[in-house]
Structure 1
Amino acid sequence: MTDSQLSLQLLLAGAFFIAAIVMDLYKEKIPNKLCLLAIFCGFAINAYYAQLQGALMALFGFALAFIILFPTFILRILGAGDIKLMMGIGALMGPQLLVWSLAYGIVAGAGTSLLLIIWKTGFTGMAMTLKRYWDCFYLRCYFKPEAGEAAGLRVPYAPALALGWLWACSLDSEISQLYFNWHLYLGLGTS
């Protein structure tokens, strides 16, 4: 993979994540147009730089994201926008970086979800949820979440997916080499 291809892929993936985070945080929805643009760019860039092999890599990343994440949609863990966004990232960045991004995104999701829940409901909402869980356990009966309670919230997952992608990028040797090359090119190398 050339430095120009990888630079373009990273720039676009970063832009798609930024747009998705903004939309997910403020509208609780990742637009289909953004996801379709990510998918199209993934196929176009990979096919342009690596012809058939690039198109197949994009297809594999796209399909793998769907295969891994579709069950999370069925179980109502992730929304359709999150899945379509990651299908675009899979088409753009390939299957290997996709898998690591998802793995690290799960870890990052624990922290971002907790922060977003506290941001939206405060510690009062967390306390209400813990009390309800205790009541459910103690009385062996399910009680639906009340208004203002943390358990009743939908938490945007685009921030966690973006952090997982950044984490995966930071550990990728090819991306680290590109970063080093850019530092040398810009004269920011070590003295």
Structure 2
Amino acid sequence: MTDTQLTLQILLSGLFFTSAIIMDLYQEKIPNKLCLLAIFCGFAINAYYAQLAGVLMASFGFGLAFILLFPTFILRILGAGDIKLMMGIGALMGPELLLSNIVYGIVAGAGTSLILIIWKTGFIGLAKTFKRYWDCIYLQSYFKPEAGEAAGEKVPYAPAFAIGWVWACSLDSNILELFFNWNQYLSLWGV
């Protein structure tokens, strides 16, 4: 993998995640056009720089994202936009970084989900959810979430996947080497 290819992959992934976060937070939807553009860029860049090996890597990343995340769509844990975005990131960055990205994104999701729920409903919504859970346990009966309750809210997951991507990139030896080379290059120019 060349430095130019890796640089393009990192910059484009960062751009796709930034766009997805903005749209997911404000519109609660990640547009198909953004996801398709990520998928197209993933296949195009990898095919251009690594020919057949690049197409295979993009295919494995794309397919792995689908295989791992589609069950979360069926269980209504993630939305279709989250899965399609990660399929694009898988096509762009490949299966290894994608797998780390998903694992770290799940870990980061615990924190981002709590922050976003508090942002949407406040601590009152969180307290209502805890009270409802207590009532369900105490009365041994299920009660549906009420309006304004934390459990009834959708939580955008693009921020969690973006944090997982940054985390995965920060541990990848090829990306760390690339950043080290950038620092050396910039220091030669006095930047």
TM-score for the superposition, normalised by structure 2 = 0.98
- Matched-pair identity in %: 78
Given the alignment of the two structures, is residue 20 of structure 1 paired with residue 10 of structure 2, yes or no? Answer: no
Deviation beyond 2 Å, 4+ runs, structure 1: none
Q: Name structure 1 gaps, 5 residues minimum.
A: none
Deviation readout 1:94-113 (Å, 9 max, x if unpaired): 00000000000000000000
Deviation readout 1:26-65 (Å, 9 max, x if unpaired): 0000000000000000000000000000000000000000
Quote how far apart the aligned CAs of 1:128 are. 0.2
Report the counterpart of residue 101 of structure 1 in structure 2: 101
CA distance in 2, matches of 1:68, 1:83: 9
Aligned pairs, number: 189
CA distance in 2, matches of 1:63, 1:15: 22
* SS of equivalent to 2:187: coil
Q: Name structure 2 gaps, 5 residues minimum.
A: none
Deviation readout 1:123-177 (Å, 9 max, x if unpaired): 1000000000000011111100000000000000000000000000000000000
Report the counterpart of residue 154 of structure 1 in structure 2: 154
CA distance in 2, matches of 1:90, 1:140: 43
TM-score for the superposition, normalised by structure 1 = 0.98
Query: What are the equivalent positions in structure 2 for 1:50-89 lying under 5 Å apart?
Result: 50-89=50-89
Paired letter, 2:73: F
Specify whether residues 9 and 183 from structure 1 end up closer, same or farther in structure 2 by C-alpha distance, changes over 3 A only.
same
CA distance in 2, matches of 1:172, 1:137: 44
Report the counterpart of residue 177 of structure 2 in structure 1: 177
Paired letter, 2:4: S
CA distance in 2, matches of 1:188, 1:21: 35
CA distance in 2, matches of 1:105, 1:52: 29
* SS of equivalent to 2:156: coil
Quote how far apart the aligned CAs of 1:188 are. 7.4
CA distance in 2, matches of 1:120, 1:91: 33
Report the counterpart of residue 141 of structure 2 in structure 1: 141
Paired letter, 1:128: K
CA distance in 2, matches of 1:139, 1:18: 44
